[in-house]
Amino acid sequence: MKYSKETSKIIQDAGLDANNVGSSEAQIALLTDRIRSLTEHVKLHKKDVHSRHGLVKLVSQRRKQLKYLRKTKLDSYDTLITKLSIRGL
């Protein structure tokens, strides 16, 4: 299956195969990208409550994925949070 160039680039930057979109690492990388773009939007538009709500949902999803990854593959978890420069759980 073909994915957009942006999606493939985000996944490759996370250190994974570009076609491996279903792995926890890839999902966390994609969620992180969406979270960063939404964060910038919410900073600009302070009264946009709907986008803020969506941002909170994305952060919650990423937290659950990180929790699962930490429980199953600790070494992969450590490398991913350093590559994406996010705080761990």
Tell me: pLDDT of 88 over 70.
no
Tell me whether residue 69 is exposed, middle or buried, using C-beta atoms within 10 angstroms of its C-beta: 0 to 12, 13 to 18, 19 or more.
buried
Structure pTM?
Answer: 0.88
d(CA 62, CA 54): 12
pLDDT tens digit sequence for 29-73: 999 999 999 999 999 999 999 999 999 999 999 999 999 999 999
In angstroms, the CA 1 to CA 12 distance is 16
